[in-house]
Amino acid sequence: MTVYELQQKILEQKKEKDICILAHSYQAREICEVADFVGDSYALSVKAANVAQKTVIMCGVRFMAETVKVLSPDKRVILANPDAGCPMAEQMDKELISAMREANPDYAVVAYINTTTELKTVCDVCVTSSSAVKIVNAMPEKNIIFIPDINLGTYVSEQCPDKNIKLVHGGCPTHARMTEAHALEAKAAHPDALLLVHPECRDEVVKHADYIGSTSGIMDFAKASDAKEFIIGTENSIVEHLQYDCPDKKFYPLSKDLVCHNMKLGTLPELLLCVNGEFGEEILIDEDTRLKAKSCIDKMIEYGG
Ligand code: 13P
Ligand code: SF4
């Protein structure tokens, strides 16, 4: 079957079966084209709480599907590719965070949404890359432990100087691979281009950026900018999406190694199988865990607006 034929079948079947397809913006172009909604982690979370259809298929990584189930427990939530995990989400466990809480009783624990549902049960507030600064500033607590991304945490600390933020050593293996040398080389190769980076990149990369933001933030900035050339410091699918969306502008990857292999696992033929109930994994979360994790995500939406 061609890409077009597969897409037509998926569109037909999802309508007939009352299915909503959510896709993170790191997904392949052909998957985004058949999704009901494409966005960054924050926008997907807000959308997840308000889906009308009975079944939701998440084209993204596991924590994103878990967030949908936590917010919409009555929906059937399917992770399109069961092997798609986020390595950062699994870097810490409940025991470690509980021990940190005991050692720091006057600190609130802020969890990046790239964490497991289990881990969220022992945290106070969730944030995403697009909402972290706003949420941390809006929190009444001054003392904060920020988990698990040391790079996003460093960026938030710099943007929230009134807060006392303790960081832990975790992060995204894809973004953390980028070094200052990548930033300098890309800028030398494209001297007229603006550098747009995700805050999961190291501080040594972020300090050279003209814009720092989430996946959607980077796309919105590039679309609205008068500049004509951009170096993109996040997963390379964003380079491709922007090339489609802005054919009059030029986009270059910060590095060809900026690839999230987990996000790349999903394919269109598999998505058709998912829509037909022959592939994917249904996300199930026990009610006690769900409610504890929900409080953390609810606070994110309350503070994030
Ligand atoms: P966004 O919050 O920008 O969607 O980022 C999620 C993510 O996993 C980035 O690597
Ligand atoms: Fe996780 Fe990094 Fe992939 Fe984002 S890019 S899903 S943080 S591994």
Distance 25 CA to ligand 1 centre (A): 8
For 122-176, how does the pLDDT look when each residue is reduced to its tens digit (9 = 90+)? Answer: 999 999 999 999 999 999 999 999 999 999 999 999 999 999 999 999 999 999 9
The predicted pLDDT at position 61 comes to: 98
The best mutation among 61, 129, 206 to test binding of ligand 1, ranked by most ligand atoms within 8 Å of the C-beta, falls on 129
Query: Stretch 11-30: mean pLDDT, rounded?
Result: 97
**Tokens standing for residue 216:** 């959607």
Distance 83 CA to ligand 2 centre (A): 13
**Tokens standing for residue 246:** 């802005």
- Ligand 2: residues with CB < 6 A are 61, 86-88, 114, 172, 174-175, 200, 235, 260, 262-263
The predicted pLDDT at position 39 comes to: 94
Q: How far is CA 54 from the centre of its chain?
A: 24
For 181-211, how does the pLDDT look when each residue is reduced to its tens digit (9 = 90+)? Answer: 999 999 999 999 999 999 999 999 999 999 9
The predicted pLDDT at position 49 comes to: 83
The predicted pLDDT at position 42 comes to: 86
Q: Contact at 8 Å (CB) between 151 and 203?
A: yes
For 85-108, how does the pLDDT look when each residue is reduced to its tens digit (9 = 90+)? Answer: 999 999 999 999 999 999 999 999
Residue 46 has pLDDT above 90, yes or no: no
The predicted pLDDT at position 48 comes to: 84
Estimate the crossing angle of helix 215-224 against helix 237-245, to 10 degrees. 30
Q: How far apart are CA 35 and CA 51, in angstroms?
A: 13
The predicted pLDDT at position 45 comes to: 84
The best mutation among 40, 47, 116, 172 to test binding of ligand 1, ranked by most ligand atoms within 8 Å of the C-beta, falls on 40
Give, in order, the Cα–Cα distances in Å from 77 to each of 111, 126, 243.
23, 21, 31
Residue 226 has pLDDT above 90, yes or no: yes
Extract long-range pairs of 205-208: CB within 8 Å, 24+ residues apart. 205/178, 205/179, 205/180, 205/233, 205/254, 206/151, 206/155, 208/180, 208/183, 208/184
pTM of the model: 0.95
Distance 75 CA to ligand 1 centre (A): 24
Residue 227 has pLDDT above 90, yes or no: yes
- Which amino acid makes up residue 184? L
The predicted pLDDT at position 304 comes to: 85
Q: How far apart are CA 120 and CA 147, in angstroms?
A: 10
Distance 1 CA to ligand 1 centre (A): 32
Report the percent of the chain where pLDDT is more than 70. Answer: 100
Give, in order, the Cα–Cα distances in Å from 75 to each of 50, 56, 70, 215.
11, 7, 10, 27
Query: Stretch 36-48: mean pLDDT, rounded?
Result: 90
Average pLDDT in the chain: 96
Residue 217 has pLDDT above 90, yes or no: yes
- DSSP 8-state secondary structure symbol assigned to residue 115: S
Residue nearest to atom 7 of ligand 2 (CA): 172
Q: Contact at 8 Å (CB) between 165 and 197?
A: no
Ligand nearest to the CA of residue 113, numbered in listed order: 1
